[in-house]
Amino acid sequence: MSETATAPAATGAGTYEPRIVAFFCNWCTYTASDLAGVSRLTYAPNTRIIRFMCSGRIDPQFILTALRQGADGVLIGGCHPGDCHYSTGNYRALRRFKLLKKLLAQMGLEPERVRLEWIAASEGDRLQEVTNEMAEQLRRLGPPNLEAIPAPGPGEELPGEVQELEKTEA
């Protein structure tokens, strides 16, 4: 099992390249990504895709985990409203996302870092546009100012601040 997930986000040239984790739904956005590939539309390699059956599966904790583990941004991709393969999953995703954005704003995280896009199966060009745009935005923003707190491994202690919290709540 690998250790903590924070690997340096630098390319050979020494310039900062943001890492974006993408959560895409199988029927629309993942298929659009395949279409972008088939059409040979090149885009920035910063985005790495994780496949779900539906954007409704996406637990806000996935987004938080990704950020905590060192992602500079998270991109969520689903079907356009009304077009969800499972009818309403994307609406649920939208609601959770909106609530999460409020929370993240309170934490001081720039809004560009977590983004929701509706990309249909035939919109390979839109995928290219969005991934390039997001990479460029995050490049300009620089790394997030959240300290990446590594997840405790087996037998490891919780970080100091959390221990304090636990004491007061006990």
Partner 1 sequence: MDTSNNGNKPGQERAKVGVYVCACGLNIASKVHIDEVREFAGTLPSVGVARDYKFMCSDPGQELIINDIKEHGLNRIVVASCSPLLHEHTFRKACEDAGLNPYHFQMANIREHVSWVTEDMELATEKAKSLVAAAVERVAFHYALEKKRVDINGNVLVVGGGIAGITAALNLANAGKQVYLVERQPSIGGHMAQFDKTFPTLDCAACILTPKMSEVKNHPNITMWTMSEVENVSGYVGNFTAKVKHYPRYIKEDSCVGCNDCIDACVFKNGKWENEFDAGLSLRKPVYMPFPQATPSTVLIDPEACLYLMKGKCKQTCVDACERDAIDFTQQVTYDEVEVGTVVLSTGFKSFDPKRMPEYAYGRLDNVHTSLEIERLVNSTGPSGGEVVLKNGEKPKSVGIIHCVGSRDKRHNPYCSSVCCMASLKLAHLIKERTGAQVYNFYIDMRTPGKGYEEFYDKLLGEGVHFIRGRVAEVTDWAMTPEEEGKLVIRAEDTMIGMARRIPVDMVVLAVALEPQPDHEDIRRTFNISCSKEGWFLERHPKLAPVSTFSDGIYLAGACQGPKDIPATVAQAGAAAGEALALISRGYMEIEPNTAWIDPDLCSGCKTCLPQCPYTAITRNEDKGVAEINPVLCKGCGTCVGACPSGAAQQHLFTDDQVYTEIEGILSHV
At residue 147, the 3 state secondary structure works out as coil
100 binds partner 1 (CB under 8 A): no
Query: From the list 81, 87, 98, 142, which residue makes contact with partner 1 (rule: CB under 8 A)?
Result: 87
**What is the β-pairing status of strands 20-25 and 114-118?**
unpaired
Q: What is the DSSP string of 41-89?
A: ----TTEEEEEES-GGG--HHHHHHHHHTT-SEEEEEEPPTT--TTSSH
18 binds partner 1 (CB under 8 A): no
81 binds partner 1 (CB under 8 A): no
Least separation in angstroms between CB 111 and partner 1:
21
User: CA 111 → CA 72, 75, 83, distances in Å?
Assistant: 12, 12, 26
111 binds partner 1 (CB under 8 A): no
- Written as six digits, the tokens of 116 are 């929701």
Enumerate binding residues for partner 1 (CB under 8 A).
Answer: 1-3, 5-12, 19, 21, 26-28, 30-31, 33-34, 36-38, 40-43, 45, 48-54, 56-59, 61-62, 65-66, 69-71, 82-83, 85-89, 92-93, 96, 120-123, 128, 151, 153-154
